[in-house]
Structure 1
Amino acid sequence: MARFVRTFTKRLCIILNAVIAGLFLVACVNAWLHPSKWWFFSLLGLGFPVLLIMLVCFLVFWLMLRSKWAVLSALVLLLGLANIRVFLGLHFATSFKPEKPKGALRVLTWNVHWFDEHNKKNKLRKDYRKNMIAFIKEQNADILCFQEFLELGKSFAYSNTNAIVQLNYPYYYRVIDYGQASGGRFQAGVAIFSRFPIVDTQRVLYPSTENVRAAESLIGVDVQVNGKRIRVYTTHLQSVLFQKNDYRNLEIIKSADDSMVTASRSIIKKLKKGYAARGFQADVVRNKLDSCPYPEVVCGDFNDVPNSYTYFRIKGNRQDVFVRKGSGIGRSFTAVSPTLRIDYILADKAFDVLQYNRFLVPWSDHYPVVADLKLAEE
């Protein structure tokens, strides 16, 4: 009897290990499959961290038993190394220094979530805007890239644009993706502020699909840095557009409520549309980057995880500053899951990546990301 139990348990573990290995490989492959056709693989990619942990556990389990089945997990982990590498930062011994290295270009990207406007319905809210402006000043960045940047119209003294300009950022390019251009009380979009003169600008609008609100634009500015021209892009790719009810649905799914099937359908439908839209937007961004004649930096809220088609498509052969200098998993979105790194700074190989940091501040639903870059010596 005891022998039967041992044999059955071992075979069950082998089957489970094989299933997990297969799902892990599919989650890795999704990085190269366009989500407009292979959206289910993209959904599976969200489970990449869990699958990775389970594979590592199986590897340790088989090694402890000195079993040949350890080879299965080891081989699969080796095949998924490219995905693991962009998921996990290994520079635990490095620390971010507030002082910029000599000749460095400091870039900050942050989805500021309209500053205080999203909190106005909360009667107990604090004045986050003041804290956010003070934080931005403290970082002493040369280039600021913002998503969900709100301006309440030129006639209002409560101007976020003026507040940033007064921090010694006299040059900026801000576009209105939502709101009225002339005299409107509500103007929101992406923005880039610079301490270097902006010599040229460009904007790309993403097409709206299926009556779903489009993402914020892709914008770029050309600046002269130490006598050399570089281009900085920022963008905010398609959001899943979760509402409060969707977050409640996620809780229903987690708690296995009776209405879990209905909740799951609602969530999956929105995720499917979001993945497809971001896939096409990533193609647009990649084409712009590849045609850029200058060393470029692209940053922003991609609304997708590192093992996604969106990330790998935009990244190409560019440097992910988190991979180069970061540690841990680099979570940048505060809601839903602790594994969501969806805000990025990707730099042309013409730059040396000197420093990286992500600041765990509570004033937006995204954490700001900062990097120090330097044009490599020719």
Structure 2
Amino acid sequence: MRKVVNKVIFFVNSLVAFALLMSYLLPYVSPQTFPLLSVLSLAVPILIVINVLFFLYWAILLKRKMLLSLIVLILGISHVSSLYKLRGKSSDEIDNTLSLLSFNVHAFNRFKWIDSEEIPKDISSLIRQENPDIFCAQEFYHNPDIDFSQYDYKYDHFHHKSQELALVIFSKYPFLNKGSLNFKKTANNVIFADILLPSDTIRVYNVHLQSHGISTKTNDLAKADSQKLFKRIQTSFKKQQSQAEQLIAHMKSSPYKNIVMGDFNNTAYSYIYDKIKSENLQDTFKEAGKGFGKTFNFELFPARIDFILVPDDTEVVAFKSFDLELSDHYPIFSRIKL
């Protein structure tokens, strides 16, 4: 009986290992060419965890069978390190550094998604406490209780058709130029600002790529029509590719070093992320983060869909994410040396 059970378990193990192996192709397959495979990028964290569990299971019972998941995990070591970092990097060094913070503020809890009246004040307190040189906010909404008065420079752009939600770049340093990519037929967008630092000039992009419009709750997902759900995600991934291509074309015309930060609505295993990062950028979480680095409150797994990407020749001094229930996203912070 045990042999039969182990055969069934190993068969399931083989399917999951194959799925994870297929996911390694994601950065090379565009969503517009093969949208169904792109959906797999959302499941990569689960596939990694399951393969780790299978490896441990076989390591205890039948060591020779543990090789399947072990080999697949080793082949995708960069995927594993994108999910979890054992060691981070932290420094109290402030001189000659630039601090960055990105946060999808979810309209400051406008519709009471969180049972608290203090969210706008709590977010304001967080930003004052961390005091980043540059703060990029997504889904920004004018609320009388917010206070970001420590910033002398601000660029907001209300691309949403209601003219209520905006992307905003706050800065302690002056803007030389600013603008919006103005994506068509969507509330999502990218804005940018050329910022004059004491010793350099940089271009900062605040990104909010196409949203999927799916619930973060397991029960809601279970009740959803799976066919419609997959179709919606495939459509949003195709839009993300188009938006990413517009962003990359704009980045190529930049006369300055680029910093890209914000809500990608996609994971570090995706074609979208890989193409943007390939523009001579590095992921600050991979360089200095620790743990899962989750940025989105998704019940199924610790999702990391918000990023701070900085030039390859930049030293990443520190990175941290905040496990604070102030939005459906978690803020992320990084300090760099240009």
- Would the TM-score normalized by the shorter structure come out above 0.5? yes
**1:292 and 2:258 are equivalent in the alignment:** no
Corresponding residue for residue 188 of structure 2 = 216
Deviation track 1:154-213 (CA, whole Å, cap 9, x = no partner) reads: xxxx385xx32x21x111211111257xxxxx53211111111111113212232xxxxx
Residue 356 to residue 28, structure 1, CA distance change in 2 (3 Å) = same
3-state DSSP of counterpart to 1:232: strand
Q: Which has the larger displacement, 104-113 or 124-133?
A: 124-133
Corresponding residue for residue 44 of structure 1 = 40
Corresponding residue for residue 107 of structure 1 = 100
Deviation track 1:14-72 (CA, whole Å, cap 9, x = no partner) reads: 42332221111122222321122322222222222222122223333444456433332
CA distance in structure 2 between the aligned counterparts of 1:146 and 1:304, rounded to whole angstroms: 17
> Aligned letter for 2:51?
L
Corresponding residue for residue 196 of structure 1 = 173
Q: Which has the larger displacement, 188-197 or 264-273?
A: 264-273
Match of 1:170 among 139, 152, 171: 152
CA distance in structure 2 between the aligned counterparts of 1:336 and 1:269, rounded to whole angstroms: 21
TM-score, with structure 2 as normaliser: 0.90
Match of 1:361 among 319, 324, 328: 324
Corresponding residue for residue 65 of structure 2 = 69
Residue 334 to residue 50, structure 1, CA distance change in 2 (3 Å) = closer
Question: How many pairs were matched up?
Answer: 337
State the shift of 1:270 in Å: 2.2
CA distance in structure 2 between the aligned counterparts of 1:57 and 1:85, rounded to whole angstroms: 17
Question: Mapping of 1:243-322 within 5 angstroms?
Answer: 250-251=218-219, 254=222, 260=223, 263-316=225-278, 317-322=280-285
Corresponding residue for residue 155 of structure 1 = none
CA distance in structure 2 between the aligned counterparts of 1:100 and 1:236, rounded to whole angstroms: 30
CA distance in structure 2 between the aligned counterparts of 1:251 and 1:116, rounded to whole angstroms: 22
3-state DSSP of counterpart to 2:106: coil
3-state DSSP of counterpart to 1:137: helix
3-state DSSP of counterpart to 1:89: coil
**Does the 8 Å CA contact 1:90/1:323 hold for their aligned counterparts?**
no
Question: Any stretches of 5+ residues in structure 2 without a counterpart?
Answer: none
Question: Mapping of 1:34-183 within 5 angstroms?
Answer: 34-65=30-61, 67-92=63-88, 94-95=89-90, 101-119=94-112, 125-151=116-142, 158=144, 163-164=147-148, 166-167=149-150, 169-179=151-161
Match of 1:346 among 309, 325, 332: 309
CA distance in structure 2 between the aligned counterparts of 1:308 and 1:224, rounded to whole angstroms: 32
Deviation track 1:70-123 (CA, whole Å, cap 9, x = no partner) reads: 33222211221222222222325x45x6x552111001111111124232x98x
3-state DSSP of counterpart to 1:47: helix
Q: Which has the larger displacement, 64-73 or 279-288?
A: 64-73
**Does the 8 Å CA contact 2:267/2:273 hold for their aligned counterparts?**
yes
**Does the 8 Å CA contact 1:108/1:371 hold for their aligned counterparts?**
yes
State the shift of 1:342 in Å: 1.0
Deviation track 1:236-256 (CA, whole Å, cap 9, x = no partner) reads: 0111123xxx567x41554xx
State the shift of 1:343 in Å: 0.9
> Aligned letter for 1:342?
I
State the shift of 1:134 in Å: 1.8
Corresponding residue for residue 239 of structure 1 = 211
3-state DSSP of counterpart to 1:241: coil
Question: Any stretches of 5+ residues in structure 1 without a counterpart?
Answer: 153-157, 181-185, 209-213, 255-259
State the shift of 1:216 in Å: 2.7
TM-score, with structure 1 as normaliser: 0.81
**Does the 8 Å CA contact 1:190/1:216 hold for their aligned counterparts?**
no
3-state DSSP of counterpart to 1:46: helix
Structure showing greater radius of gyration is 1
CA distance in structure 1 between the aligned counterparts of 2:220 and 2:127, rounded to whole angstroms: 38
> Aligned letter for 1:40?
L
State the shift of 1:148 in Å: 0.8
> Aligned letter for 1:49?
P
> Aligned letter for 1:127?
E
Corresponding residue for residue 229 of structure 1 = 201
For the aligned residue pairs, the C-alpha RMSD in angstroms reads 2.5
